[in-house]
Chain A
């Protein structure tokens, strides 16, 4: 598949999973878990995280803006998902350069994945991006100094679940390729 087609397929599939299943996951679980605040996993940042390594940062930021805005339309959170995704698009190239020894030009259109990067690097890459994205999102959403522990707690809960789901999705769908990037 060519890169644009792959991107569109990724976008549609991930968005459908996010909106159909994950947004409802709290509503469907009808018991409150020992006073733990209601939270949902957000896996849509995966759209940005799985773009080819050589994508310029202006493109990831623009796509992040668009993706976030789509989420905002469906979740009634004007601007919040968009702001968090733009931040993710901005920090992504510097995060990637930590884990790939070659320069991004040599790598061309390698897609970061569990099997290319190895479990440790991939886990750190995903966790760092998801934490940054979720933290910024919940800061914007809750927006109160009084509730800083609550913001951190909710970020942690949501991030852990998101990272687990992303790892599972990689195990299921990522191309198994033993060559290390």
Chain B
């Protein structure tokens, strides 16, 4: 017993090292599977508040860029709705009726919750995006997040005022996507270049040309027909390098899709998974 105490006394720093390292590694590997919610994340009130203050302080730097992207999005939406400059949809009652009929068919059960990006990383193997909306605004786990240009990720942690989304730029984040003729493949990220994704599982009979568009298939978290990117390069017969349409370096505003029907489906799908 005395020898044991002496041993511990002599190597006490080594034992403390082992103990602390063990604690850290338990935290690391317990949360390696990102479906488990970790307690350590930036949706916590302290870190969330810090990031929202930071965004207030540094937000003005990107104002021109944000304005430009919002203008572009507005223009694209106007084009989609067929609004020309000489028609004012607010005054023209026949016009707004037309939109009403259209939207009830198209987006009946999608509600878009706008959110501001407080923090975003692209340099890790599993990247997260901190958003300024939380359970108060109706955010729930597993909701899809998109930007004006394409897919972004899905919500992984929610607190009262903040939430954290798992970015598409993450190891093992797969998006079921399809090319223009309806062939479905799997889009994932290789962990290196934040501008490119890898589309795999496309049969050899289907040949993608460079600049062919790739959309979401609607089988996963994301609604159907959201632009994902454009084919850039053939890797081998069945996989392609895709230039992503979302610029993850300039992510300022995103939309969380609150989709009531599919949340129920997601619940059933999740319950079948072993881990």
Contacts and interface: CB of A to CB of B under 8 A. Distances in A.
A71 to B, nearest CB: 10
A90 B191 CA distance: 31
B41 interface: yes
Interface string A33-50: 001011110000000000
A39 to B, nearest CB: 5
Interface string B239-275: 0000000010110000000000000000000000000
Interface string A117-148: 00000000000000000000000111100010
A91 to B, nearest CB: 9
Contacts, number: 119
Contacts of A62: 16, 20
B192 A65 contact: no
Contact of A58 (B13, B41, B249, B250): B13
Chief secondary structure at chain A's binding surface: helix
A86 B193 contact: no
B163 to A, nearest CB: 12
Interface stretch (A20-28, A95-103, A107-115, A170-178): A20-28
Nearest to A35: B193
A140 B32 CA distance: 10
A153 to B, nearest CB: 10
Query: Chain B interface residue count: which class?
Result: 35 or more
Contacts of A72: 27, 40
Interface stretch (B42-50, B178-186, B203-211, B223-231): B42-50
- 4 closest A-B pairs (Cβ-Cβ)? A79-B27, A83-B24, A79-B28, A76-B128
Interface of B: 12-14, 16-17, 20-21, 23-28, 30-32, 38-42, 44, 46-47, 50-51, 54, 58, 119-126, 128, 164, 191-195, 247, 249-250
Given A27-B249, A30-B247, A65-B23, 12 more contacts: A19-B54, A30-B250, A32-B193, A58-B12, A61-B16, A61-B17, A65-B20, A73-B46, A78-B27, A79-B26, A79-B28, A87-B17
Interface of A: 19-20, 23, 26-27, 29-30, 32, 35, 37-40, 56-58, 61-62, 65, 68-69, 72-80, 82-83, 86-87, 89-90, 93, 140-143, 147, 150
6 contacts: A26-B122, A26-B123, A57-B16, A65-B20, A74-B42, A83-B24
